[in-house]
Amino acid sequence: MISSPLDGHHALVTGAGSGIGAAIARSLAKAGASVTLAGRRRAPLVAVAEEIGAAAAFIADGFDVTDRGAITAGLDKARAALGPVSILINCAGEAPSASFEKTTLEMWSRVVDVDLTGVFNVTQLALPDLKARGTGARIINVASTAGLIGYAYVSAYCAAKHGVVGLTRALALELAKKGVTVNAVCPGFTDTPIISRSIAQIVEKTGRTPEEALAEFTRHNPQGRLVQPEEVADTVLWLALPSAQSINGQAIAVAGGEVMTG
């Protein structure tokens, strides 16, 4: 078995400071990739870098996926530190909750800007590196089961994540002959700070116990539990491996059977 199958790769992970993004960064680094940890806040990125080892990590703080200037500056610094990007993981995202009637234009625009246009921005600006690498280069978008089905009270999030899945499929076809694969991973409800904040909001607004609030999320999973970030990271790692070269244009659900794609 090759212990470092991603040796020589430079992986850029957005939203790398916590939750799924941090788990992905750890997984890719363990497989031998050098990793740029991209996010807006420095402190959580430093904590992840300390976990995976400073030699294998570059911290790109101030990396706002809605700001093309900030992305360009971050990419330039990351290239100078670790070389051209060959694996791109788009994981940055927001998921505020509101009924459709109470979803303001400001909320709608913010979610779409971060969760969908952010993927467009980072991918377009990193694409020259990926095309130059050719075979073996990867774009992996962390979407959601909300990109495959609908959920109440997160209409903006559902719309944005459906857009991410559509963008994934279109770009997979455009880049197929270049050797760059493009796939999406679609987690169900996952044990991350986003879920923790949602549980706290439910408790505050409804007076339910934390256990009752948690049950609102675990009931969607036939296994009766939250997905773990490491399970999502393992799926991303598989898609990044050389042996996954024929996996292209797919939206893979990691949700315990809640969503079954055919």
The model's pLDDT over 10-22, given as tens digits with 9 standing for 90+, comes to 999 999 999 999 9
Q: Is 157 a catalytic residue?
A: yes
> Is 191 in contact with 226 (CB distance < 8 Å)?
yes
H or E stretch at 217: helix 210-218
C-alpha pair distances (Å), 106 with each of 70, 85, 96, 112, 120: 22, 33, 12, 10, 20
Reported as a single tens digit per residue, the pLDDT across 78-110 is: 999 999 999 999 999 999 989 999 999 999 999
Reported as a single tens digit per residue, the pLDDT across 163-214 is: 999 999 999 999 999 999 999 999 999 998 888 888 888 888 888 898 988 9
Angle (deg, nearest 10), helices 19-30 and 42-52: 30
> Could you tell me what percent of the chain has a pLDDT over 70?
99
Number of CB atoms found within 10 A of residue 28's CB: 27
Instruction: Write down the pTM of the prediction.
Output: 0.94
* pLDDT grade for 2, boundaries at 50, 70 and 90: low
Exposure string of 147-156, with b = 16+ CB inside 10 Å and e = fewer, is bbeebeebbb
Nearest by Cα to 89 from 146, 42, 22, 149: 22
**Identified catalytic residue from 58, 63, 108, 157:** 157
State residue 1's pLDDT score. 46
Handedness of CA 247, 186, 1, 33 (dihedral sign): positive
Residue 228 has pLDDT above 90, yes or no: yes
> Is 161 in contact with 144 (CB distance < 8 Å)?
yes
